[in-house]
Chains A and B, each alone.
Chain A
Amino acid sequence: GQSLEQPSEVTAVEGAIVQINCTYQTSGFYGLSWYQQHDGGAPTFLSYNALDGLEETGRFSSFLSRSDSYGYLLLQELQMKDSASYFCAVRANSGNTPLVFGKGTRLSVIA
């Protein structure tokens, strides 16, 4: 099966940088995805790492290391609107398997 671990909560200061880690236990998968969900809203796609390394999209970057079974989401120049829950997700590459999400990390950005 697949298992993803994320910290449940993270607090950071406006303007700072924060890293949200995701460790996983799955033998093989297509890629690591990240989703953002604001309170009362639906999850929205942020990034996808098919290969090891860093993917950058504006203030957000995502990293994957398959050899370390580890990935992270990096948020720079934090803004209050970044306060939300962030989920990592993987889909195993053995047969037809669903996208499995971690339990999410609640990020609180404070002034």
Chain B
Amino acid sequence: KAGVTQTPRYLIKTRGQQVTLSCSPISGHRSVSWYQQTPGQGLQFLFEYFSETQRNKGNFPGRFSGRQFSNSRSEMNVSTLELGDSALYLCASSFDYEQYFGPGTRLTVT
């Protein structure tokens, strides 16, 4: 069974731009979560989707948004990028209590 895939793997953007990250979960998994990871801050929860519905949202500004499609694939969008948005963005899919993470998208904002 294929794992969670994320595209792109690396991204360099400038301040003020917007970015869209994509996540394809494991086949059969309907739950997708997004996390931001920066050094020393662990995994900060962004969103959780289940069957195209946002089930939870973390404490991030409205510049961060996401959605899930009928095939469970998910995207997250960050508008008006700031330097502090530079981070590893991880997507995870789950069927039960175990989360399976993708390799992440490394976003650098200059």
Contact = CB atoms under 8 A, between A and B. Distances in A.
A35 B92 CA distance: 12
Chain A interface size range: 20 to 34
B43 interface: yes
A52 to B, nearest CB: 16
Contacts of A103: 40-42
B73 to A, nearest CB: 18
B58 interface: yes
Contacts of A42: 90, 101-104
User: Which of B33, B40, B45, B99 has the most chain A CB atoms closer than 10 A to its own CB?
Assistant: B99
Contact of A99 (B33, B42, B90, B100): B33
A45 B48 contact: no
A83 B35 CA distance: 23
B27 interface: no
A98 B92 CA distance: 12
